[in-house]
Protein backbone atom coordinates (compact mmCIF):
# COMPACT_ATOMS: atom_id res chain seq x y z
CA UNK A 1 0.00 0.00 0.00
CA UNK A 2 1.32 3.37 -0.82
CA UNK A 3 1.10 5.82 1.98
CA UNK A 4 2.41 9.09 0.73
CA UNK A 5 4.82 10.78 3.01
CA UNK A 6 3.14 13.40 4.98
CA UNK A 7 4.89 16.02 6.98
CA UNK A 8 4.33 15.55 10.68
CA UNK A 9 1.74 17.78 12.22
CA UNK A 10 -0.18 18.17 9.01
CA UNK A 11 -2.89 15.72 9.98
CA UNK A 12 -4.77 18.29 11.97
CA UNK A 13 -5.25 20.51 8.99
CA UNK A 14 -8.34 19.03 7.51
CA UNK A 15 -10.26 18.13 10.67
CA UNK A 16 -10.27 21.81 11.55
CA UNK A 17 -12.65 22.30 8.70
CA UNK A 18 -14.27 18.90 8.89
CA UNK A 19 -17.56 20.18 10.15
CA UNK A 20 -18.05 22.53 7.30
CA UNK A 21 -16.96 19.93 4.78
CA UNK A 22 -19.60 17.61 6.09
CA UNK A 23 -22.18 20.34 5.86
CA UNK A 24 -21.12 20.90 2.27
CA UNK A 25 -21.53 17.21 1.51
CA UNK A 26 -24.99 17.37 3.02
CA UNK A 27 -25.80 20.23 0.69
CA UNK A 28 -24.58 18.18 -2.25
CA UNK A 29 -26.63 15.19 -1.18
CA UNK A 30 -29.73 17.31 -0.92
CA UNK A 31 -29.10 18.33 -4.51
CA UNK A 32 -28.92 14.71 -5.58
CA UNK A 33 -25.19 14.07 -5.72
CA UNK A 34 -24.39 10.64 -4.36
CA UNK A 35 -21.81 11.33 -1.69
CA UNK A 36 -21.06 8.15 0.20
CA UNK A 37 -18.64 7.29 2.94
CA UNK A 38 -15.94 6.27 0.53
CA UNK A 39 -16.21 9.62 -1.28
CA UNK A 40 -15.90 11.42 2.02
CA UNK A 41 -12.86 9.46 3.06
CA UNK A 42 -11.28 10.06 -0.32
CA UNK A 43 -12.01 13.74 -0.10
CA UNK A 44 -10.27 14.02 3.24
CA UNK A 45 -7.32 12.04 2.00
CA UNK A 46 -7.07 14.25 -1.07
CA UNK A 47 -7.29 17.44 0.93
CA UNK A 48 -4.32 16.40 2.97
CA UNK A 49 -2.29 16.48 -0.20
CA UNK A 50 -3.02 20.01 -1.28
CA UNK A 51 -2.74 23.43 0.17
CA UNK A 52 -6.11 24.58 1.41
CA UNK A 53 -5.16 28.17 0.98
CA UNK A 54 -5.01 27.57 -2.73
CA UNK A 55 -8.63 27.72 -3.60
CA UNK A 56 -8.23 26.13 -6.98
CA UNK A 57 -6.39 23.07 -5.72
CA UNK A 58 -8.79 22.78 -2.84
CA UNK A 59 -11.76 22.88 -5.15
CA UNK A 60 -10.32 20.47 -7.70
CA UNK A 61 -9.26 18.02 -5.03
CA UNK A 62 -12.77 17.98 -3.62
CA UNK A 63 -14.41 17.82 -7.02
CA UNK A 64 -12.33 14.91 -8.24
CA UNK A 65 -13.27 12.82 -5.22
CA UNK A 66 -16.91 13.88 -4.88
CA UNK A 67 -18.40 14.82 -8.22
CA UNK A 68 -18.29 11.84 -10.54
CA UNK A 69 -20.13 12.98 -13.60
CA UNK A 70 -20.41 16.13 -15.61
CA UNK A 71 -23.79 16.80 -14.04
CA UNK A 72 -22.46 16.28 -10.50
CA UNK A 73 -19.68 18.65 -11.30
CA UNK A 74 -22.08 21.36 -12.33
CA UNK A 75 -23.99 21.07 -9.07
CA UNK A 76 -20.71 21.00 -7.22
CA UNK A 77 -19.57 24.27 -8.75
CA UNK A 78 -22.78 26.01 -7.86
CA UNK A 79 -22.77 24.88 -4.27
CA UNK A 80 -19.09 25.32 -3.71
CA UNK A 81 -19.14 28.99 -4.39
CA UNK A 82 -22.15 29.53 -2.27
CA UNK A 83 -21.05 27.49 0.62
CA UNK A 84 -17.52 27.03 1.16
CA UNK A 85 -14.79 29.10 2.54
CA UNK A 86 -16.68 31.25 4.95
CA UNK A 87 -18.15 28.20 6.52
CA UNK A 88 -14.80 26.52 6.85
CA UNK A 89 -13.28 29.42 8.66
CA UNK A 90 -16.27 29.89 10.90
CA UNK A 91 -16.07 26.29 11.89
CA UNK A 92 -12.43 26.49 12.80
CA UNK A 93 -13.16 29.48 14.95
CA UNK A 94 -16.08 27.96 16.68
CA UNK A 95 -14.03 25.06 17.78
CA UNK A 96 -11.29 27.41 18.77
CA UNK A 97 -8.74 25.57 16.84
CA UNK A 98 -5.75 26.65 18.77
CA UNK A 99 -2.41 25.16 18.62
CA UNK A 100 0.56 25.25 20.78
CA UNK A 101 3.01 27.67 19.49
CA UNK A 102 6.67 27.22 19.58
CA UNK A 103 7.89 29.53 22.26
CA UNK A 104 11.32 30.79 22.92
CA UNK A 105 11.45 33.54 20.40
CA UNK A 106 12.81 35.82 23.14
CA UNK A 107 16.08 34.05 23.12
CA UNK A 108 16.16 33.92 19.43
CA UNK A 109 19.15 34.94 17.48
CA UNK A 110 18.15 36.15 14.04
CA UNK A 111 21.20 34.71 12.35
CA UNK A 112 20.56 31.32 13.84
CA UNK A 113 17.01 31.44 12.68
CA UNK A 114 18.09 32.41 9.21
CA UNK A 115 20.50 29.56 9.05
CA UNK A 116 17.98 27.04 10.35
CA UNK A 117 15.43 28.15 7.81
CA UNK A 118 17.86 27.98 4.95
CA UNK A 119 18.71 24.48 5.99
CA UNK A 120 15.10 23.40 6.24
CA UNK A 121 14.43 24.87 2.84
CA UNK A 122 17.33 23.19 1.14
CA UNK A 123 16.42 19.93 2.84
CA UNK A 124 12.88 20.43 1.61
CA UNK A 125 11.56 19.40 4.99
CA UNK A 126 7.95 20.42 5.25
CA UNK A 127 7.41 19.85 8.93
CA UNK A 128 10.45 21.82 9.90
CA UNK A 129 9.59 24.62 7.52
CA UNK A 130 6.26 24.92 9.19
CA UNK A 131 7.69 25.07 12.70
CA UNK A 132 10.30 27.58 11.63
CA UNK A 133 7.68 29.67 9.88
CA UNK A 134 5.87 29.95 13.19
CA UNK A 135 9.04 30.83 14.93
CA UNK A 136 9.84 33.52 12.42
CA UNK A 137 6.36 34.96 12.75
CA UNK A 138 6.53 35.23 16.50
CA UNK A 139 10.04 36.63 16.31
CA UNK A 140 8.94 39.38 13.98
CA UNK A 141 5.72 39.92 15.82
CA UNK A 142 7.78 40.79 18.85
CA UNK A 143 9.88 43.23 16.97
CA UNK A 144 6.74 45.09 16.11
CA UNK A 145 7.09 44.61 12.43
CA UNK A 146 3.74 43.16 11.68
CA UNK A 147 1.75 45.23 9.24
CA UNK A 148 -1.47 43.42 9.93
CA UNK A 149 -1.71 42.31 6.34
CA UNK A 150 -0.65 38.82 5.56
CA UNK A 151 0.70 39.35 2.08
CA UNK A 152 2.80 42.21 3.32
CA UNK A 153 4.11 40.38 6.34
CA UNK A 154 5.15 37.46 4.26
CA UNK A 155 7.24 39.75 2.09
CA UNK A 156 8.79 41.51 5.05
CA UNK A 157 9.68 38.36 6.89
CA UNK A 158 11.07 36.87 3.75
CA UNK A 159 13.21 39.92 3.26
CA UNK A 160 14.43 39.94 6.81
CA UNK A 161 15.38 36.32 6.40
CA UNK A 162 17.25 37.12 3.22
CA UNK A 163 15.62 34.33 1.35
CA UNK A 164 16.45 35.23 -2.18
CA UNK A 165 16.28 32.20 -4.33
CA UNK A 166 19.53 33.16 -5.94
CA UNK A 167 22.60 32.89 -3.78
CA UNK A 168 23.50 35.88 -1.68
CA UNK A 169 25.07 38.73 -3.54
CA UNK A 170 28.40 37.95 -1.91
CA UNK A 171 28.22 34.56 -3.51
CA UNK A 172 28.91 32.84 -0.22
CA UNK A 173 25.56 31.24 0.19
CA UNK A 174 24.31 28.41 -1.87
CA UNK A 175 21.32 29.01 -4.07
CA UNK A 176 17.95 27.92 -2.78
CA UNK A 177 15.43 26.16 -4.93
CA UNK A 178 12.83 28.82 -5.71
CA UNK A 179 10.07 26.28 -5.49
CA UNK A 180 11.08 25.36 -1.98
CA UNK A 181 11.31 29.00 -1.01
CA UNK A 182 7.77 29.40 -2.26
CA UNK A 183 6.73 26.45 -0.19
CA UNK A 184 8.19 28.10 2.85
CA UNK A 185 6.31 31.25 2.02
CA UNK A 186 3.17 29.22 1.83
CA UNK A 187 3.78 28.01 5.33
CA UNK A 188 4.36 31.54 6.46
CA UNK A 189 1.14 32.64 4.91
CA UNK A 190 -0.87 29.84 6.34
CA UNK A 191 0.53 30.34 9.79
CA UNK A 192 0.00 34.08 9.66
CA UNK A 193 -3.54 33.51 8.67
CA UNK A 194 -4.12 31.13 11.50
CA UNK A 195 -2.48 33.50 13.95
CA UNK A 196 -4.63 36.38 12.81
CA UNK A 197 -7.83 34.44 13.17
CA UNK A 198 -6.81 33.20 16.59
CA UNK A 199 -5.74 36.59 17.79
CA UNK A 200 -8.73 38.54 16.71
CA UNK A 201 -11.13 35.72 17.42
CA UNK A 202 -13.05 36.61 14.35
CA UNK A 203 -12.97 36.03 10.69
CA UNK A 204 -11.18 38.34 8.38
CA UNK A 205 -13.53 40.16 6.05
CA UNK A 206 -15.37 37.86 3.72
CA UNK A 207 -13.40 37.11 0.63
CA UNK A 208 -12.47 34.19 -1.51
CA UNK A 209 -9.45 32.49 -0.10
CA UNK A 210 -7.65 32.66 -3.38
CA UNK A 211 -7.02 36.26 -2.57
CA UNK A 212 -5.18 35.41 0.58
CA UNK A 213 -2.69 33.47 -1.37
CA UNK A 214 -1.91 36.25 -3.69
CA UNK A 215 -0.75 34.78 -6.87
CA UNK A 216 1.51 37.46 -8.10
CA UNK A 217 3.47 36.30 -11.07
CA UNK A 218 6.76 35.32 -9.56
CA UNK A 219 8.43 34.63 -12.81
CA UNK A 220 8.16 37.76 -14.90
CA UNK A 221 9.00 36.21 -18.24
CA UNK A 222 5.98 34.01 -17.96
CA UNK A 223 3.55 36.87 -17.83
CA UNK A 224 5.47 39.39 -19.78
CA UNK A 225 3.65 38.53 -22.96
CA UNK A 226 0.26 38.91 -21.32
CA UNK A 227 1.25 42.24 -19.85
CA UNK A 228 2.41 43.44 -23.22
CA UNK A 229 -0.82 42.35 -24.80
CA UNK A 230 -2.87 44.30 -22.27
CA UNK A 231 -0.79 47.39 -22.71
CA UNK A 232 -0.86 47.16 -26.48
CA UNK A 233 -4.61 46.97 -26.20
CA UNK A 234 -4.58 50.09 -24.08
CA UNK A 235 -2.53 51.83 -26.68
CA UNK A 236 -4.87 50.87 -29.47
CA UNK A 237 -7.83 52.07 -27.49
CA UNK A 238 -6.25 55.37 -26.76
CA UNK A 239 -5.08 55.81 -30.32
CA UNK A 240 -8.48 55.15 -31.83
CA UNK A 241 -10.33 57.36 -29.41
CA UNK A 242 -10.01 60.39 -31.63
CA UNK A 243 -11.60 58.49 -34.49
CA UNK A 244 -14.46 57.24 -32.43
CA UNK A 245 -15.27 60.77 -31.57
CA UNK A 246 -15.46 61.82 -35.14
CA UNK A 247 -18.85 60.23 -35.20
CA UNK A 248 -20.07 62.56 -32.55
CA UNK A 249 -21.22 66.07 -33.05
CA UNK A 250 -19.69 67.37 -29.92
CA UNK A 251 -16.42 69.18 -30.23
CA UNK A 252 -16.01 68.82 -33.95
CA UNK A 253 -14.09 71.43 -35.83
CA UNK A 254 -15.20 72.53 -39.29
CA UNK A 255 -12.48 72.26 -41.88
CA UNK A 256 -13.10 75.41 -43.89
CA UNK A 257 -10.87 74.50 -46.80
CA UNK A 258 -12.33 71.08 -47.31
CA UNK A 259 -15.84 72.46 -46.99
CA UNK A 260 -15.15 75.04 -49.67
CA UNK A 261 -13.64 72.48 -51.96
CA UNK A 262 -16.62 70.15 -51.51
CA UNK A 263 -18.97 73.04 -52.19
CA UNK A 264 -17.62 73.23 -55.74
CA UNK A 265 -19.64 70.15 -56.57
CA UNK A 266 -22.78 71.91 -55.50
CA UNK A 267 -22.12 75.13 -57.32
CA UNK A 268 -20.24 76.77 -54.54
CA UNK A 269 -23.01 76.35 -52.01
CA UNK A 270 -21.59 74.68 -48.92
CA UNK A 271 -24.25 72.04 -48.51
CA UNK A 272 -22.12 69.70 -46.58
CA UNK A 273 -19.83 70.72 -43.84
CA UNK A 274 -16.50 68.99 -43.72
CA UNK A 275 -14.89 68.45 -40.41
CA UNK A 276 -11.32 68.35 -39.48
CA UNK A 277 -10.36 64.87 -38.44
CA UNK A 278 -9.76 64.93 -34.78
CA UNK A 279 -6.24 63.93 -34.07
CA UNK A 280 -5.78 61.54 -31.26
CA UNK A 281 -3.94 63.37 -28.58
CA UNK A 282 -0.59 61.93 -27.90
CA UNK A 283 -0.72 60.81 -24.35
CA UNK A 284 1.88 61.91 -21.92
CA UNK A 285 2.27 59.41 -19.21
CA UNK A 286 4.12 59.55 -15.94
CA UNK A 287 4.41 56.25 -14.16
CA UNK A 288 5.59 56.08 -10.57
CA UNK A 289 6.39 52.62 -9.39
CA UNK A 290 6.99 51.44 -5.85
CA UNK A 291 9.77 48.85 -5.89
CA UNK A 292 10.07 48.32 -2.16
CA UNK A 293 9.94 44.92 -0.58
CA UNK A 294 6.44 45.22 0.74
CA UNK A 295 5.47 44.99 -2.88
CA UNK A 296 8.52 43.10 -4.07
CA UNK A 297 6.76 40.32 -5.89
CA UNK A 298 4.36 42.93 -7.17
CA UNK A 299 7.15 45.12 -8.35
CA UNK A 300 8.32 42.46 -10.74
CA UNK A 301 4.88 42.59 -12.21
CA UNK A 302 4.89 46.37 -12.16
CA UNK A 303 8.25 46.52 -13.83
CA UNK A 304 6.90 44.35 -16.57
CA UNK A 305 3.98 46.76 -16.90
CA UNK A 306 6.45 49.60 -17.17
CA UNK A 307 8.41 47.66 -19.72
CA UNK A 308 5.31 47.17 -21.81
CA UNK A 309 4.27 50.79 -21.46
CA UNK A 310 7.62 51.91 -22.74
CA UNK A 311 7.14 49.62 -25.64
CA UNK A 312 3.90 51.28 -26.57
CA UNK A 313 4.10 54.93 -25.66
CA UNK A 314 6.72 57.34 -26.77
CA UNK A 315 5.89 60.08 -24.37
CA UNK A 316 6.40 58.17 -21.23
CA UNK A 317 8.48 58.93 -18.23
CA UNK A 318 8.94 56.36 -15.58
CA UNK A 319 10.09 56.60 -12.02
CA UNK A 320 10.80 54.09 -9.34
CA UNK A 321 10.80 54.78 -5.66
CA UNK A 322 11.30 53.37 -2.22
CA UNK A 323 12.57 56.01 0.12
CA UNK A 324 13.44 58.33 -2.69
CA UNK A 325 12.31 58.65 -6.22
CA UNK A 326 14.44 58.23 -9.28
CA UNK A 327 13.76 58.48 -12.98
CA UNK A 328 14.42 55.33 -14.96
CA UNK A 329 12.99 56.26 -18.37
CA UNK A 330 16.47 55.97 -19.78
CA UNK A 331 17.03 52.45 -18.67
CA UNK A 332 13.79 51.35 -20.23
CA UNK A 333 14.48 53.15 -23.44
CA UNK A 334 17.90 51.64 -23.91
CA UNK A 335 17.46 48.17 -22.58
CA UNK A 336 15.15 45.65 -24.20
CA UNK A 337 15.80 42.62 -22.07
CA UNK A 338 13.52 42.47 -19.11
CA UNK A 339 15.94 40.73 -16.77
CA UNK A 340 18.63 43.28 -17.47
CA UNK A 341 16.16 46.04 -16.86
CA UNK A 342 15.28 44.70 -13.44
CA UNK A 343 18.93 44.37 -12.60
CA UNK A 344 19.73 47.86 -13.72
CA UNK A 345 16.75 49.33 -11.97
CA UNK A 346 17.87 47.78 -8.72
CA UNK A 347 21.53 48.62 -9.13
CA UNK A 348 21.26 52.09 -10.67
CA UNK A 349 17.82 53.12 -9.58
CA UNK A 350 19.21 55.11 -6.70
CA UNK A 351 16.04 54.80 -4.74
CA UNK A 352 17.76 54.45 -1.36
CA UNK A 353 16.59 51.22 0.06
CA UNK A 354 17.88 51.35 3.60
CA UNK A 355 14.90 50.36 5.64
CA UNK A 356 13.14 48.63 2.80
CA UNK A 357 10.01 50.62 3.49
CA UNK A 358 8.53 53.10 1.15
CA UNK A 359 8.43 56.72 2.21
CA UNK A 360 5.50 57.94 0.20
CA UNK A 361 5.46 61.39 1.79
CA UNK A 362 9.04 62.04 0.87
CA UNK A 363 8.55 60.68 -2.60
CA UNK A 364 5.72 63.15 -3.24
CA UNK A 365 7.85 65.98 -1.92
CA UNK A 366 10.66 65.11 -4.27
CA UNK A 367 8.43 64.52 -7.23
CA UNK A 368 6.56 67.72 -6.52
CA UNK A 369 9.73 69.75 -6.42
CA UNK A 370 11.60 68.28 -9.31
CA UNK A 371 9.13 67.00 -11.83
CA UNK A 372 5.62 68.16 -11.15
CA UNK A 373 6.07 71.43 -12.98
CA UNK A 374 6.29 69.49 -16.22
CA UNK A 375 2.81 68.12 -15.63
CA UNK A 376 -0.11 69.57 -17.53
CA UNK A 377 -3.69 68.82 -18.43
CA UNK A 378 -2.52 66.35 -21.03
CA UNK A 379 -0.51 64.27 -18.68
CA UNK A 380 -1.66 61.17 -16.92
CA UNK A 381 -0.01 60.10 -13.71
CA UNK A 382 -0.16 56.43 -12.87
CA UNK A 383 1.06 55.32 -9.45
CA UNK A 384 1.87 51.69 -8.88
CA UNK A 385 2.12 51.02 -5.18
CA UNK A 386 0.52 49.59 -2.08
CA UNK A 387 0.25 52.89 -0.18
CA UNK A 388 1.88 51.33 2.84
CA UNK A 389 3.75 54.10 4.58
CA UNK A 390 5.06 52.06 7.46
CA UNK A 391 3.70 54.75 9.76
CA UNK A 392 5.45 57.70 8.11
CA UNK A 393 3.83 60.96 7.14
CA UNK A 394 1.79 60.32 3.97
CA UNK A 395 1.76 63.98 2.80
CA UNK A 396 -1.51 63.45 1.05
CA UNK A 397 -1.86 67.18 0.40
CA UNK A 398 1.25 67.19 -1.75
CA UNK A 399 -0.02 64.21 -3.64
CA UNK A 400 -3.20 66.20 -4.11
CA UNK A 401 -1.28 69.08 -5.65
CA UNK A 402 0.47 66.74 -8.04
CA UNK A 403 -2.80 65.13 -9.02
CA UNK A 404 -4.43 68.47 -9.66
CA UNK A 405 -1.62 69.53 -11.97
CA UNK A 406 -1.97 66.38 -14.00
CA UNK A 407 -4.91 65.80 -16.27
CA UNK A 408 -5.65 62.46 -14.79
CA UNK A 409 -4.28 60.41 -11.97
CA UNK A 410 -4.69 56.69 -11.49
CA UNK A 411 -3.53 54.41 -8.73
CA UNK A 412 -2.86 50.73 -9.20
CA UNK A 413 -2.54 48.88 -5.93
CA UNK A 414 -1.05 45.37 -5.83
CA UNK A 415 -3.25 44.37 -2.92
CA UNK A 416 -6.82 43.17 -2.90
CA UNK A 417 -9.11 46.09 -2.14
CA UNK A 418 -10.11 44.47 1.11
CA UNK A 419 -6.64 45.03 2.46
CA UNK A 420 -6.59 48.69 1.69
CA UNK A 421 -6.48 50.87 4.77
CA UNK A 422 -5.72 47.95 7.04
CA UNK A 423 -2.47 47.99 8.89
CA UNK A 424 -0.27 50.78 7.61
CA UNK A 425 -2.02 51.22 4.28
CA UNK A 426 -3.19 54.81 3.81
CA UNK A 427 -4.94 54.31 0.53
CA UNK A 428 -7.92 56.33 1.74
CA UNK A 429 -5.72 59.41 2.04
CA UNK A 430 -4.71 59.25 -1.61
CA UNK A 431 -7.73 57.79 -3.30
CA UNK A 432 -9.85 60.99 -3.28
CA UNK A 433 -7.26 62.67 -5.48
CA UNK A 434 -7.30 59.94 -8.08
CA UNK A 435 -9.56 59.61 -11.07
CA UNK A 436 -9.53 55.93 -10.36
CA UNK A 437 -7.89 53.51 -7.98
CA UNK A 438 -7.70 49.87 -8.93
CA UNK A 439 -6.45 46.68 -7.44
CA UNK A 440 -3.91 45.32 -9.82
CA UNK A 441 -1.83 42.24 -9.30
CA UNK A 442 -2.62 40.11 -12.31
CA UNK A 443 -2.83 40.77 -15.99
CA UNK A 444 -6.59 40.36 -15.64
CA UNK A 445 -6.68 43.37 -13.37
CA UNK A 446 -4.47 45.24 -15.75
CA UNK A 447 -6.89 44.49 -18.55
CA UNK A 448 -9.77 45.72 -16.44
CA UNK A 449 -7.90 48.91 -15.77
CA UNK A 450 -7.23 49.30 -19.46
CA UNK A 451 -10.88 48.76 -20.22
CA UNK A 452 -12.06 51.34 -17.78
CA UNK A 453 -9.45 53.89 -18.64
CA UNK A 454 -9.19 53.50 -22.35
CA UNK A 455 -12.37 51.89 -23.50
CA UNK A 456 -15.23 52.24 -21.12
CA UNK A 457 -15.46 55.96 -20.67
CA UNK A 458 -13.85 57.83 -23.52
CA UNK A 459 -15.26 61.05 -22.14
CA UNK A 460 -12.84 60.79 -19.27
CA UNK A 461 -9.93 60.98 -21.59
CA UNK A 462 -10.90 64.30 -22.99
CA UNK A 463 -11.18 65.80 -19.58
CA UNK A 464 -9.26 68.99 -19.38
CA UNK A 465 -9.06 69.54 -23.10
Q: Report the interface residues with other proteins, using CB under 8 A.
A: 1-2, 4-5, 34, 36, 38-39, 42, 45-46, 49-50, 56-57, 60-61, 63-65, 67-70, 73, 124, 179, 183
| Choice between 34 and 273, CB closer to other proteins | 34
Closest distance of CB 279 from other proteins, Å: 30
Q: Is 246 helix (H, G, I), strand (E, B) or coil?
A: helix
Give the containing element (helix H, strand E) for 444: helix 443-450
Under a CB-based contact definition with an 8 Å cutoff, are residues 454 and 238 in contact? yes
| Choice between 57 and 393, CB closer to other proteins | 57
Angle at which helix 178-200 crosses helix 126-142, to 10 degrees, equals 50
| Choice between 11 and 369, CB closer to other proteins | 11
With the CA atoms of 259, 264, 268 and 272 taken in that order, what torsion angle do they form, in degrees rounded to the nearest 10? -40
Closest distance of CB 174 from other proteins, Å: 20
Neighbouring residues of 431: CB distance < 8 A, sequence distance ≥ 6 = 411, 437
- Beta-bridged to residue 321, according to DSSP, are 290, 325
DSSP state, 282?
P
Closest distance of CB 38 from other proteins, Å: 5
Closest distance of CB 389 from other proteins, Å: 35
**Category of 162 on φ-ψ map: left (φ > 0), alpha (ψ -120 to 50) or beta:** left
Backbone angles phi, psi at 318, to 5 degrees: -125, 145
CA–CA distance, 329 with 402 (Å, rounded to integer): 19
Closest distance of CB 78 from other proteins, Å: 15
Closest distance of CB 432 from other proteins, Å: 39
| Choice between 2 and 459, CB closer to other proteins | 2
Closest distance of CB 10 from other proteins, Å: 13
| Choice between 69 and 119, CB closer to other proteins | 69
* Sign of the alpha-carbon dihedral angle for 138, 144, 150, 151: negative
Q: 1: how many CB neighbours lie within 10 A of its CB?
A: 2
Closest distance of CB 134 from other proteins, Å: 22
With the CA atoms of 63, 215, 219 and 330 taken in that order, what torsion angle do they form, in degrees rounded to the nearest 10? 150
| Choice between 56 and 282, CB closer to other proteins | 56
CA–CA distance, 216 with 438 (Å, rounded to integer): 15
| Choice between 61 and 387, CB closer to other proteins | 61
| Choice between 127 and 270, CB closer to other proteins | 127
Q: 108: how many CB neighbours lie within 10 A of its CB?
A: 15
Q: Is 324 helix (H, G, I), strand (E, B) or coil?
A: coil
Amino acid sequence: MISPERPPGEEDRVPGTAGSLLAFFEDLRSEGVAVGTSEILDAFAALEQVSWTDQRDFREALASTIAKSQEDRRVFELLFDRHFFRAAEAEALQHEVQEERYDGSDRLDLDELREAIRQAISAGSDGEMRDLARLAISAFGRRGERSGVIGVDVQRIRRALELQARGGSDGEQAALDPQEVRRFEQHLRRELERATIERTGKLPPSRPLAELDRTLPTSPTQDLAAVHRAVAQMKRRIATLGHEQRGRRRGRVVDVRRTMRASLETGGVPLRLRYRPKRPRRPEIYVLCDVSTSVSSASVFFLSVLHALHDSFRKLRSFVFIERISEVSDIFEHERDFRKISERVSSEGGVADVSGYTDYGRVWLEFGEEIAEDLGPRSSVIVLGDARTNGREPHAEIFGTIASRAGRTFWLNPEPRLYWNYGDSVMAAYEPFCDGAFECWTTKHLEQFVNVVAGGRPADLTRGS
